[in-house]
């Protein structure tokens, strides 16, 4: 299937090391031997969809920096259009010691840009509408009022539009899209006007809300789950199911399976195109 992913791309960096004596007054020090890098946010969703065997086009914005170069390398065979319109690429670094997440350091400077949504729309108009569109919103600048009219045209395409909603104080930009995949906390904070709603509930699976009915999709809880990007894996699975013509319940079952598989892999090897 052909699937477009548009949204906030980021670079995830991971260091696995051990505690050391504290240097320079730092609260804690961890020393490891190498960083591992992974596509994050919309780029993670795109990589997972590619891993599921789909033809993916990714649209996003980055900065003019090393992190964008690293993303270019990681995305490899995934068709992508990333434009350097942000002052810096969004980067999330995680440091682990004794296999526990100890510290997370984020670097980001969101600036509204309508480029990615416009590029997605132009590609669909020029090359044909895909089998599904995923909007991966982490509120880093791709989505907002500035792209509302183009987004509306995409939502009107004859294909499912799946929204992974980010934190924002208005969500009417998603009105009429096929489905949104908030987690429980996001669902409590936002009233999203999509046709269906699939609320993810971590190790408890998900709830499908459709036509006033609610159906629970259970999952087998994974202990020691690798939860970074679990939401991306769920959204990717849901989009893959809908792209193949499944109904919302079948697609949600498939999404739970994809997410379970994803969180069961301790280092994202099967999904990320990571190199040392
Ligand atoms: N411990 C776990 N065991 C099994 N499945 C899990 C576990 N944690 C998450 N999942 C799967 O991943 C899906 C998404 O997880 P979650 O509800 O935590 O999303 P999220 O909060 O959006 O995640 P993210 O932080 O990646 O945005 C769940 O619906 C479930 O299918
Ligand atoms: Mg999420």
| Ligand 1 site-directed mutation target among 139, 186, 217, 227, most atoms within 8 Å of CB | 227
Pocket test for ligand 1, best of 10, 230, 252 (most atoms within 8 A of CB): 230
Q: Does the CB atom of residue 210 touch ligand 1 within 6 A?
A: no
Burial 4-19 (b: 16+ CB within 10 A, else e): bbbbbbbbbbbbbbee
DSSP state of 153: H
Using the Cα atoms of residue 137, residue 270, residue 262 and residue 56 in order, give the sign of their dihedral: positive
Domain ranges in the chain are: 2-20+29-263
Nearest to 180 by CA among 210, 158, 150: 210
pTM higher than the cut 0.75: yes
- Which pLDDT value is given to residue 269? 58
**Which residue's alpha carbon is at the smallest distance from atom 14 of ligand 1?**
231
CATH 3.40.1190.20 is held by the domain 2-20+29-263 = yes
pLDDT at 268 (0 to 100): 65
Is residue 15 within 6 Å of ligand 1 at its C-beta?
Answer: no
Atom 28 in ligand 1: residue holding the nearest Cα: 202
Mean pLDDT on 253-265:
95
2 closest CA partner among 51, 45, 44, 55? 55
Q: Are the C-beta atoms of 68 and 60 separated by less than 8 Å?
A: no
**Is ligand 1 within 6 A of the CB of residue 166?**
no
Say if ligand 1 is within 6 A of residue 201 CB. yes
**CA-to-CA separations, 267 to 37, 114, 186, 236, 257, in angstroms, rounded:** 11, 34, 26, 18, 18
Which protein residue's CA is at the shortest distance from atom 7 of ligand 1? 203
* pLDDT tens track for 15-60: 999 999 888 999 999 999 999 999 999 999 999 999 999 999 999 9
Ion ligand 2: protein residues whose beta carbon lies under 5 Å: 231
CB of 44 shorter than 6 A to ligand 1 = no
What pLDDT does residue 236 have?
98
From the CA of 184, how far away is ligand 1's center (Å)?
A: 10
Please say whether the beta carbons of 262 and 229 come within 8 A.
yes
pLDDT at 270: 45
């Amino acid at each position: 299937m052909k699937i477009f992913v548009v949204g906030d791309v980021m670079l995830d960096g991971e260091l696995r090391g051990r505690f050391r004596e504290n240097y320079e007054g730092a609260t804690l020090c961890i020393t490891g031997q190498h960083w591992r890098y992974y596509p994050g946010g919309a780029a993670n969703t795109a990589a997972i969809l590619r891993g599921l065997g789909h033809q993916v086009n990714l649209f996003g914005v980055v900065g003019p920096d090393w992190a964008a170069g690293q993303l270019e390398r990681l995305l490899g065979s995934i068709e992508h259009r990333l434009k350097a319109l942000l002052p810096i690429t969004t980067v999330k670094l995680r440091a682990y010691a004794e296999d526990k997440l100890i510290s997370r350091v984020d670097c980001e400077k969101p600036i509204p840009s309508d480029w990615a949504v416009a590029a997605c729309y132009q590609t669909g108009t020029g090359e044909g509408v895909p089998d599904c569109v995923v909007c991966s919103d982490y509120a880093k600048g791709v989505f907002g009022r500035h792209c509302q009219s183009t987004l509306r045209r995409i939502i009107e395409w004859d294909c499912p539009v799946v929204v992974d909603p980010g934190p924002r104080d208005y969500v009417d930009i998603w009105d009429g899209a096929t489905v949104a995949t908030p987690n429980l906390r996001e669902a409590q904070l936002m009233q999203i006007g999509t046709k269906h709603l699939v609320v993810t509930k971590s190790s408890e699976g998900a709830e499908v809300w459709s036509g006033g009915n609610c159906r629970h999709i259970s999952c087998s809880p994974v202990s020691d789950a690798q939860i970074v990007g679990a939401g991306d894996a769920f959204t990717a699975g849901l989009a893959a199911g809908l792209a193949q013509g499944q109904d919302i319940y079948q697609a949600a079952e498939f999404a739970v399976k994809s997410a379970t598989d994803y969180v069961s892999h301790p280092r994202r090897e099967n999904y990320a195109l990571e190199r040392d």
